[in-house]
Amino acid sequence: MLTRSIQRGLRIGAISFGILTYLILVGLPTRIGDAAMPVLAVAMALLFWISLRGGVSKQDVSARAPAPLFTAGTMAGLFAGALTATLIAFFTGLLADGVRLQPIFDKIVPQNMAALYGVMPGVIATEGIPALGWLRQTLFLTASGIVGALLVLIERSIRQRSFPRIPWLRWVPLILPFVLLAFVIWLGMPGVTFGGNNRGTIRLLATMVTIGSGIFALRAARPGAEQRVFGLLFFLAIAYLPFTLDQFQNSVMGIVFIFVMIGLGLNIVVGFAGLLDLGYVAFFAIGAYVYAFLAAPFSSPWVTAQLQSLGLPYNQPLVSYWMAIPITMVAAGIGGVLLGIPVLRLRGDYLAIVTLGFGEIIRLFMLNLSDLTNGPRGLLNIAPPYLFGINFGSPREIFILALIGAGIVAFAAYRLDGSRLGRAWIAMREDEDVAQATGVNLVRTKLLAFAIGALFAGLAGQLYAARQVNIFPENFSLFVSIDALSLVIVGGMGSIPGVVIGALALKGLPEVLRGVDEYRIVTFAALLVLMMIVRPEGLVPSTRRRRELHEDAEPIAGVDAPSALEQLATAEPTATQKAGRQ
Amino acid sequence: MAMIEARQVTKVFGGLVAVNSVDLVVEERMIASLIGPNGAGKTTFFNCLTGLYRPEGGDIVFDGQSIVGLRPDQIIARGMARTYQNIRLFGSMTAIENVLVGQHVRLRSTPLGAIFQTPATRREEKKAEQKARELLAFVGLAGKGDMIAKNLPYGDQRLLEVARALGSDPKLLLLDEPAAGMNPRETDAMLHLINRLRDELGITILLIEHDMKVVMSISDRVTVLDYGKKIAEGRPEQVRTDPSVIEAYLGAGVIDVHAPA
Amino acid sequence: MTVTTYSSTPLPRRRKSAAHWVLRALGVLILVLVIWRVYTVGMAENYPASFWISQALNGLVLGGVYALVALGYTLVYGILLMINFAHGEVVMIGGFAGFFALQFFTAIGWLEGSAALVAFALLLIVGAGMLASVLTGVTLERVAYRPLRGAPRLVPLISAIGASLFLQYSVLLIFGVSPRVYQKPALIAGGFRVGDVFVPYTGVIIFATSLLLMLALYLIVQRSKLGKAMRAVAEDKGTAALMGIDVNQVIVFTFILGSALAGAAGVMLGFHNTIVKFNSGFILGLKAFTAAVLGGIGNIPGAMMGALLLGLIEAIGPSALGIPTEYKDIISFSVLVLILIFRPSGLLGEVLSEKKA
């Protein structure tokens, strides 16, 4: 039994060593600075906790006893620690000998190693491995292994104890957003020095948490009056945000909510209708470019030439922002249908690949149709929206417009979700053949999904163009599609509040955590994989998705009860109710 | 008048003739059965009728008009609905939602109407939900409307498929082995329901069935398929004694044709 | 002889509707336009025959490499019915490993030694690439795909997209942005002439190695016990498991085979294109996938044929269509889109059926 827990510890330790090696190779210690080892140790403690609690079958009582748990934890920490420390010492030794490792491993530089030992980089170059460095690192990780085991025990004892129900606890999530809002407002007041240089960032983070917690609270509120009152107050709170935030914060929130609009559109295509579209950026691009043609005709040689030949002025916007809205929407919608028609017959993976191809082809067109799009030089000086003669192009106004836009789009998506069309989408997603045999016109239903999704993205694209003032083809790369897809998935496919949470987490947080930008894509990518394994339904799942992905998510009383047929059969047949003809 | 008339319907897969020049007439308000050993082409024939397959030859006249070449959603709009041998409900939807999808062809609301919740849309949705509840009650699923389809017991799932099909106000209902996998009591109740579909709702029924007891007790007319060909047709008692039918079944060696009805 | 996947009871087949005929007409129109364009360009440009031949040879070499990668897609698709979106990255990692092995053997001087020593070193370099790719592929399967078996189809695909990005950007972070440049050993740097056509040694070596590896794969799938098990699992996982086949083992074996080919392809592409970069697997993956689809995915000879065809199209296409060579990626993309739209079952018949298209 002891050998079993040692084996288990070694296995966990080996995997942890792999993860640590990865983190060192991507240069994370350099980023963290000389607290690298303690920070990594804390992170590893959490990892040990997760790996120690899982993998033990419920029947295996011995493995759940404290002693084997601590044996496994200690072994895991010791093993991972010793291996990692040895690897670090090896690298450091080479560096100290003057070997340049950078041609192979870009991030294995003295700073990285110094951070792990908690010394100045110069020490590595001159003195090599610090005394007791190996031991220090090994001990740090052994400690995290023990802490991991401890966490398992603590978690278990908490779970076993029953807590008294505190009635007012229910109100905490409902009040939290407003407390946070007050905090945000307070932070913005003149004279407040809380947070020092980071005050702006803390404020931005608090803003996002305000919105996020509000979204969760909205779901936690009891349906009916409570939910309605809370919803109204929360709405007012959000409406107030643009007026209290500063320019940078507004600008970040603006882009977050532009991505909420994109996400809501993609959510219709992927979440509702189940059509995995990887070329979704095309519609965003159409919206942006069509608005740019209208609002900055002088930027496009072709449009300029056309206007000249017609004798029209070309050095000013053709239409106002508001007049352009229907035009971009129609253009994007038509784009959606046109790209939708050829892929009508494709399902699943094939659809994903073809739409990915389309997205790239559109981008290559933007790059190469220089006459129309001005190629990589982009379309410049796009006019901002004006309302009553006031320039609406500053970050605050853009955030307001993004909020309004996202609100309208979310409302439309919500209404569609429960409609005849929404039901047809879900039916189609579940079983295309049966949906058709049940009366769903697949062509119409699919094209409507593409068109409505495209239309939302077009709106977002227009606002984006107005925000950016200058747009270039690289603004519309595959990564917009990937970002949009990631935020839909992280939030929860088919879930409207999920899109907001996803956008906050994936577009907002990286802005707060400046400096980790380098790690943005790997983090998203790892998150995507992890999400699919652990929680494929997303952070704020739509109830329906959860049902689809978990066979036994909602055990319903009566599954083992006799079926209605049996009950009918036991009753006298004549006693059955008459529904009559409708 | 004939509700549906299949003339010389032929369906070929590769080199295999799954349905070979089959004629079939089902009169209005009749309960007709299609029987035959495994692989006789019964479900393929159903798929031809409902537009999932396009037959290579022959014609299908439904309610006076040819429906060959129509899409399944166009055919159900004309009044022919079906259920499936292996239950194919929309598992993540509630029972009510399943029946609402069944009503899809009878509803008119548009996306814009849904977004703006126009009075017409609201009225229609309300009526549709009311009707869905009535249909669930009719098949015996009263009060189970908000349950998730895949969480329903097996027998209830079969009933829900019938209710979903009824959502489209069918004139003709095709039931693919409605009593498959059921115990005798459940089978009895299903037979009762099928009778009520005809008697109370006036729906013509064409069913595929393996259970001879079901077929013999309920059918006005029985058609026997074997290797894609029609080998016998007539009233249940005629078919039961038909030597070619007995041979087909004894050859398959599965079902006792002489089981008491 | 194919790892085919078809359902024994065919699902209802889509009827041919008006939209179908519109698409057909569109397809014919596109074909006519392409042929017309090729004709006019051919008339106008008047390239010598030797030009076309050397282009075609180049295409065959590329096609051979594509085939190795395409086989990885096809094998995995045949077994798991999923597109291993990260397969291109497996190739790229093989390329990196090969580069470092090449550096190593250059450093110890083997590549200036006798012909036998150089050949042996090259073999080891390819082996290093294969090993790295196999490790990546197996880890990929274990971490990103195995926990998702049985989940709805979108789930593993999204996981695969995540894995693809993760591998790309991890390589970027670990090895840096700068591309790694393969230096050909002096012995194989040259070439020979046949008439007006110059044939590089590397081209011959790459093409021959590709053919050898394909032959080896074919023998493994056809003759070995595990190969038979693979075919059984491709046919029906459940039944295969009932027959005592360890499905997990077969799946891992499939990933090993596919990744080994990918690793070899990565190293050979390194020699052919001379550079390998963190994102050089992505477009390559899409192209190889195109090749697999072109031949009918799940179909081993189909993948080989489709890859050779795609290699030829890509090599000859730009000149034949009279467009700059930078557009060769658009040509492949267009081929992929057109094939999926007009003939999703690929050129080698109805292998894929309705199970997926």
Q: Verify that A125 and A184 share a domain, yes or no.
A: no
Whether A483 is in a domain gets the answer no
B246 touches chain A (CB under 8 A): no
Nearest in space to C164 (alpha carbons), one of C273, C83, C268, C81: C83
Residue of A467, A544, A76 whose CA lies nearest to A291: A467
Q: Are C304 and C5 in contact (CB under 8 A)?
A: no
Q: Which of B163, B188, B219 is the last residue before a domain boundary? A: B163
What is the domain range of residue C275? Answer: 19-342
What is the pLDDT, as a whole number, of residue C10? 37
Contact A424/B101, CB-based, under 8 Å?
Answer: yes
Chains that touch A (3 or more CB pairs under 8 A): B, C
Q: Nearest-CA neighbor of A21 among B52, C325, C174, C84?
A: C174
Select the more confidently predicted residue: A143 or A110: A143
Whether the CB of C12 is below 8 Å from some CB of chain B: the reply is yes
Residues of A in contact with B115 (CB under 8 A): 411-412, 415-416
Angle between helices A478-491 and A496-503 (to 10 degrees): 120
Here the contacts of A574-580 (C-beta below 8 Å, separation 24 or greater) are A576/B140, A576/B192, A576/B196, A577/B137, A577/B138, A577/B142, A578/B138, A578/B200, A579/B134, A579/B135, A579/B137, A579/B138, A579/B200, A580/B134, A580/B200
Residue of C nearest to B71 (CA): C15
Nearest CA in chain C to A365: C330
Whether B84 and chain A come into contact, CB under 8 Å, resolves to yes
Whether residue B32 lies inside any domain: the answer is: yes
Query: SS3 of B222, please?
Result: strand
ipTM, two decimals: 0.91
pLDDT in tens, C53-79: 888 888 888 899 999 999 988 888 888
What value does the mean pLDDT take over residues B183-206? 91
**Beta-ladder partners of B9:** B22
Q: Is the predicted pLDDT of residue A30 greater than 90, yes or no?
A: no
- Contact across the interface for B52 and C10, Cβ inside 8 Å: no
Position A527 in a domain: no
Residue A364 lies in a domain: yes
Residues 374-393 of A with CB under 8 A from C: none
Domain match, A39 and A129 both: yes
Mutating which of A337, A438, A448, A552 best tests the B interface, going by the most B Cβ atoms within 10 A?
Answer: A438
Task: Tell me which of A434-438, C15-19, C232-236 is least confident.
Answer: C15-19
Residue by residue, DSSP assigns A31-97 as: HH-TTHHHHHHHHHHHHHHHHHHSS--TT-HHHHSHHHHHHHHHHHHHHHHHHHHHHHHHHHHHHHT
Query: Which DSSP state fits A471?
Result: B
- For chain A, the distance separating the N- and C-terminal CA atoms, rounded to the nearest angstrom, is 69
Structure letter (DSSP) for residue C227: H
Partners of residue A102 in chain C, C-beta under 8 Å:
176
Structure tokens at C275: 């550079």
**Nearest of A112, A143, A142, A118 to residue A130 by alpha carbon:** A118
Tally of domains within chain C:
1
Among A138, A160, A182, the domain-final residue is A160
Partner C contacted by B54 (CB < 8 A): yes
Would you say A124 and A32 are in contact if contact means Cβ atoms under 8 Å apart? no
Which letter, b or e, does each residue of C272-286 get, where b requires 16 or more Cβ atoms within 10 Å of its Cβ? Answer: bbeebbbbbbbebbb
* Contacts (Cβ under 8 Å, ≥6 apart) of C124: C101, C105
CA-based nearest distance C49→chain A, Å: 31
Is the Cβ of A360 closer than 8 Å to some Cβ of chain C? Answer: yes
> Is residue A234 one of the residues assigned to a domain?
yes
Query: Pick from A350, A358, A548: which is nearest to C152 by CB?
Result: A548
Question: Which of residues A221, A245, A269 is at a domain's end?
Answer: A245
Same domain, A240 and A253: no
| C226-249 pLDDT per residue, tens | 888 888 888 788 888 888 888 888
Q: Which domain holds residue B96?
A: 91-163
The identity of residue A346, as a single letter, is L
Domain match, B103 and B73 both: no
What whole-number distance in Å separates Cα of residue B176 and Cα of residue B216?
16
Residue A531 included in any domain: no
Name the percent of chain A lying above pLDDT 70. Answer: 90
Q: What is the pLDDT of residues C33-49, one digit of tens each?
A: 888 888 887 777 777 77
Where does the pLDDT of residue A565 fall: very low under 50, low under 70, confident under 90, or very high at 90 and above?
low
**Number of folded domains in chain B?**
2
Closest among A437, A559, A577, A562 to B193, alpha carbons compared? A577
More confident of the two residues B135 and A30: B135
Given pLDDT bands bounded at 50, 70 and 90, which one contains residue A41?
A: very high
Chain B residues with beta carbon closer than 8 angstroms to that of A492: none
The tokens for C320 are 């034949």
Report how far residue C135's alpha carbon sits from residue C128's, in angstroms, rounded to the nearest whole number: 11
Shortest Cα distance from A543 to chain B (angstroms)?
9
Strand, coil or helix: what is C35? helix
How many Å lie between the alpha carbon of C14 and the closest alpha carbon of chain B? 7
Over residues B137-181, the pLDDT tens digits come to 999 998 888 888 988 998 899 999 999 999 999 999 999 998 888
B159 touches chain A (CB under 8 A): yes
- Is C15 in CB contact (< 8 Å) with chain B? yes
A225 has pLDDT over 80: yes
CA nearest to B72 within chain C: C15
Write out chain A residues lying below 8 Å of C135, CB-based.
none
Residues 6+ positions from A27 with CB-CB distance below 8 Å: A106, A107, A109, A112, C173
**What does each C-alpha distance from C200 to A534, B223, C11, C328 come to in angstroms?**
51, 72, 50, 22
Q: Nearest Cα to A269, choosing from A459, A481, A451?
A: A451
Asked if residue B84 belongs to a domain, the reply is no
Interface residue B33 vs chain A (CB under 8 A) = no
Distance, in angstroms, between C231 CA and closest chain B CA?
A: 23
Tell me: the pLDDT tens digits for B74-111?
A: 999 999 999 998 899 998 899 999 999 999 999 888 88
Percentage, residues of chain C above pLDDT 70: 91
CATH number of the domain at C101, please.
1.10.3470
Alpha carbons A34 and A111: distance in angstroms, whole number: 9
Q: Closest by alpha carbon to A146, among A83, A81, A88?
A: A81
Higher pLDDT pick, C14 / A474: A474
Looking at the fold, whether B174 and B74 belong to one and the same domain comes out as yes
- Closest-CA residue in chain C for A522? C166
Position C352 in a domain: no
**Domain closes at, from A135, A160, A185:** A160
Name the residue with tokens 């094998």.
Answer: C75
C213 Cβ contact partners less than 8 Å away, ≥ 6 residues apart: C68, C261, C264
Residue B140 forms part of a structural domain: yes
Assign A459 to helix, strand or coil. helix
Q: At a CB cut-off of 8 Å and minimum separation 6, what does C159 contact? A: A528, A529, A532, A533, C144, C145, C148
Residues of A in contact with B92 (CB under 8 A): 426, 430, 544-545, 547-548
| Domain carrying residue A224 | 171-245
| Residues B191 and B105 both lie in one domain | no
- Asked whether the beta carbons of residue A415 and residue B115 sit closer than 8 angstroms, the reply is yes
Do A239 and A371 sit in the same domain of this protein? no
Please tell me the distance from the alpha carbon of residue C308 to that of residue B104, in angstroms, as a whole number. 48
Where does a domain end: B137, B163, B189?
A: B163
User: Is residue B103 located within the same domain as residue B217?
Assistant: no
Provide the pLDDT for residue A64.
60
Residue A519 included in any domain: no
